[in-house]
Amino acid sequence: MTSDSRLSWKDVRDRIHEQILTGRYGPGDRLPRDADIAEDLSCARSTVQRAMQDLSDSGLVERRRKGGTRVRAEPVTRATLDIPITRREVEQRGARY
């Protein structure tokens, strides 16, 4: 394997996400083991683990120790808010906080 063909964890995440969206893995389906995915994609197992962790953090899959990884029946959605720091904004404008 050359360094140009090496997949990043984001590439692996996107491929798995695409497989879920296209219906290869449906709600409740169990995904292959990380080691099997790594072998299929010719990448490191840690790369797959990072990708799976990101999918889990986004609420698309559920990971359980010794229970495997499954596609969530109802994906969890999370709202992310950007709350500015008022003091910094005031001081950037040259005013006193």
| CATH tag for 3-71 (out of 1.10.3470.10, 1.20.1260.10, 3.40.30.10, 1.10.10.10) | 1.10.10.10
| Orientation of helix 9-21 relative to helix 34-41, angle to 10° | 100
**pLDDT score recorded for residue 82:** 74
pLDDT in tens, the chain (97 residues): 444 578 899 999 999 999 999 999 999 999 999 999 999 999 999 999 999 999 999 999 999 998 899 999 887 766 677 777 888 888 889 988 8
**pLDDT score recorded for residue 78:** 65
DSSP category for residue 23: T
pTM above 0.85, yes or no: no
Cα dist. 43→4, 16, 38, 91 in Å? 12, 14, 5, 48
Instruction: Please give the single-letter amino acid code of residue 93.
Output: R
**pLDDT score recorded for residue 97:** 81
Query: Residue ranges per domain, the chain?
Result: 3-71
Taking phi first (over 0 means left), then psi (-120 to 50 degrees means alpha), and beta for anything else, what does residue 83 get? beta
Cα dist. 83→9, 16, 38, 80, 86 in Å? 29, 32, 38, 10, 9
DSSP bridge pairs for 69: 63
